[in-house]
Structure 1
Amino acid sequence: MGLAGVKIVLVEPAGPLNLGSIARVMKNFGCNDLVLVNPQCDRSSPEALKMAVHAKEILTSAVIEDTLIAALQGCVRVIATVGRDYGRDRPLENPRIALPWLLENPTEPTAIIFGREDRGLTNEELNYAHRLVYIPTNPDYPSLNLATAVSLCCYELSQSAATFSSKNLSTPEIAPVDVVETYYQELESLLLAIGYLYPHTAASRMQKFRHLYNRAHLQTTEVSMLRGLLRQVEWAISHQHHGNIQDG
């Protein structure tokens, strides 16, 4: 399958020239699944089509979504790209090391997320990624053009594609991002209800839970088990409360 199963997800792209260039480089490396999240430019503009050259079909067939979670629907492995100024507690990996992970099972939908040209991805958007990559550059001028960043990542992926195409891998079914996101929402609601989380600190505390679970690469059956555990806790709490009312 090569890179055919990898989604290239652009969050709020603003430059039509970049968009056309990205379509062209995607075709160069056999990648055709482009997703645009709330694009700020017209993919069918003359500038975009001119830069796409012989890859105009990638632009015209690109999927447009309003939100990043919608763009990642069904994806089980997600990597996000970040800039040099990223300052949180998650490790940044070299693309050559991290990106091959997207290809380990060619039957699984995967994605690589690229942020806005001027300010990248928000912390909330980065939470959807299992791993983060940073492209090493000259520290005197670290900023990369969006199309260049996509080109480098597509190249690195293409170098790894042959390694996995000949393998008959039998790996556990990793849960799609949107399925795990439903669990996160249910977990946050329960932890707020029992007082473990407080509204003003819930986002930062939930980030730590997300990082923990993302490192585990939860399987679909494991997410189902965890959601069942939450439902049982909610049932026990409601019945304990009901029993206390009756006792009183």
Structure 2
Amino acid sequence: MSRKLKNVLKKINKLVKEMNTFGLESSVPREERQHPWRQTHSKLEETTQIFGRDDDKEVVVKFLLDQQDQRRVHVLPIIGMGGLGKTTLAKMVYNDQGVQQHFQLKMWHCVSDNFDVMALLKSIIELAVSGRCDMPNTIELLQKKLEQVIDQRRFILVLDDVWNEDERKWEDVLKPLLCSVGGPGSVIVVTTRSQKVASIMQTLGPHKLACLSEQDSWKSIEESNISIMSEGKMKSCTS
């Protein structure tokens, strides 16, 4: 990465910090932040356009659709260092028309560093029914509910930004539950920076994101800069 490009990235980060200092809030409505399941059956908003990822999208989409005759639920990690566009690529795949039509149930959950098994199971149930799950924290009850709400529907579940490297949480609890429900061709897509996370969760070889070319990096930065400035202006006008 050139020195000039690094300097531009620093300026953008500084601009974002200044926006936070002046209280410019997220453009996502408060209701959607509190109830993330409301957007799971429709397309996710692509807030930032990433250039140079069309080939990655094509490869991942084809990979997912080719699993339609598989009886078991497969797990495909998308791995790469921070800032390469893992989440944006996952959104591009999730929003693809072929993917939207192919999967009967579409769910997206941002995990980050909160890999609490019970909370994650409840969230997936909420995503499947588009409503709140107030069940007690009992694995047996949650397992039955999960089987009931997903049934034999072919699903795609995106677990975004996974950091958990505790193999037991996945192998002993979540994997047996999540990989025993759904119809043929169901898939779980995991985005992560960690090679260890990918190796723990994968049933398919990970899709590794390479760095963008400098030209595509500049295009993405310009697009991000425009989006940030536009959001700032809109917030100023409505405050």
- Structure 1 length-normalised TM: 0.22
Q: Which has the larger radius of gyration?
A: 1
Of structures 1 and 2, the one with the larger relative CO (CA 8 A, separation 6+) is 2
